[in-house]
Amino acid sequence: MKLSDLGWNGFFEEQFRRWSGSGLVPGRVVGEAGYIYEVETETGRCSAQVSGHFQYIAAGRADYPAVGDWVLLRGESDLLIIERVLDRSSLFSRLAAGKRFDEQVIASNIDIMFIVASLDGGRNFTQRGIERYIVMVSDGGAKPVIILNKCDLCSESERTDFITTARAVAGDIPVLMVSAKTGEGMELVRELLEQGVTAAFTGPSGAGKSALINNLLERDVQRTGALREDDKRGRHTTTRRELFPLGNCSMVIDTPGLRELRPFGDTESLDAAFTEIAEAAEECRFSDCSHTDEPGCAVLQLVSEGEIEYARYQNYITIRNEMMSLEMMKSEKGRLERKARDKALSKLVKNYLKNHEK
């Protein structure tokens, strides 16, 4: 397969230039299982793992390859060695689940991120959930598009209600209504998947991400799982991220439904999901207004007038507070890392001086 058919473009070519003549070849990560990666190269698919040097210089989990990454490889055996991950043009990440404070990259180099919600009457369609996804997608630089899936389960009037509810939080972001089951509306999704485009699907478990991928692939490649009877929640059927090339040389990435949706980015990415709040904030009396109890707060004014829905405002404050405490944790982590580096450096200098004094 030609590299350009896998999404290779000038952005990556430019970075690769300094490695030309090094014997390293580029490949795109299409799957991962533990620390073994499936990589597609010009000459075919292979398995790979990162080199010892790579592990040594990686500062955190986010530096490791993710599905969608372009990596530089060496070797000829069955297991190639990844020496480098090229800079990402976009990514979708979150605060990793669990106790350790780390960023988890879910997919990278994505042009379009489909945020999938489902119209089955369960909890896989909520305005608050969509708002949170928009913040996370906008933060990583991919273009968000909202997909309302399972429209085959809805009457005409229900469809209208769902569209209105979604548009109320979508702002300028496109909202598509489709059915992975009957194929209705899928041509709108296909239209966006031009040659060289990489799209990924995210959204709660059971929303139908894998069913949508199967529809696009025109084959049942991905396993799908029926919702739980009692609460209509998904069963976390997909457990791995995986990239699939489509016939027209576009690519789609399936991802597992996330249990914890905690943005890892900066508070600025809130503006993309809450545009009217960002605009109102310009009019607040204090430039560092927190929009919680300050006099002359234009945001609170609009909330009191009912122009901004209270639940939406609350979600904004909740996500912002999470991101602010995250920013504090990030700078604390940075401080500790710098301290450790300084300590190691002064030890090196001390040893050097000791050896040279002799």
Ligand X SMILES: Nc1nc2c(ncn2[C@@H]2O[C@H](COP(=O)(O)OP(=O)(O)OP(=O)(O)O)[C@@H](O)[C@H]2O)c(=O)[nH]1
In angstroms, rounded to a whole number, what is the distance separating the alpha carbons of residues 5 and 192? 16
Query: Residue 291 interacts with Zn ion (CB under 5 A)?
Result: yes
How many Cβ atoms are within 10 Å of 162's Cβ, its own excluded? 19
The window from 108-116, 120-128, 152-160, 291-299 that contacts Zn ion (CB under 5 A) reads: 291-299
User: Which one of 289, 308, 319, 323 is in contact with Zn ion (CB under 5 A)?
Assistant: 289
The window from 155-163, 189-197, 208-216, 327-335 that contacts Mg ion (CB under 5 A) reads: 208-216
In angstroms, rounded to a whole number, what is the distance separating the alpha carbons of residues 303 and 281? 12
CB of 210 to Mg ion, least distance (A): 3
List the one residue out of 269, 267, 278, 287 whose CA is nearest residue 328. 267
Asked if residues 37 and 85 have their Cβ atoms less than 8 Å apart, the reply is: no
| For Mg ion, the closer CB: 198 or 238 | 238
| For Mg ion, the closer CB: 108 or 210 | 210
User: Which one of 299, 302, 308, 326 is in contact with Zn ion (CB under 5 A)?
Assistant: 299
Q: Counting Cβ atoms within 10 Å, is residue 63 exposed (0-12), middle (13-18) or buried (19+)?
A: middle
Query: Residue 270 interacts with Zn ion (CB under 5 A)?
Result: no
| For ligand X, the closer CB: 224 or 269 | 224
Query: Residue 210 interacts with Mg ion (CB under 5 A)?
Result: yes
Q: Which amino acid is at 115?
A: I
Residues 120-139 that bind Mg ion (CB under 5 A): none
In angstroms, rounded to a whole number, what is the distance separating the alpha carbons of residues 193 and 216? 10
CB of 39 to ligand X, least distance (A): 23
Distances (CA, A) of 71 to 29, 48, 250: 7, 10, 19
CB of 142 to ligand X, least distance (A): 18
Residues found near Zn ion in the complex (CB under 5 A): 284, 289, 291, 297, 299
Residues found near Mg ion in the complex (CB under 5 A): 209-210, 237-238
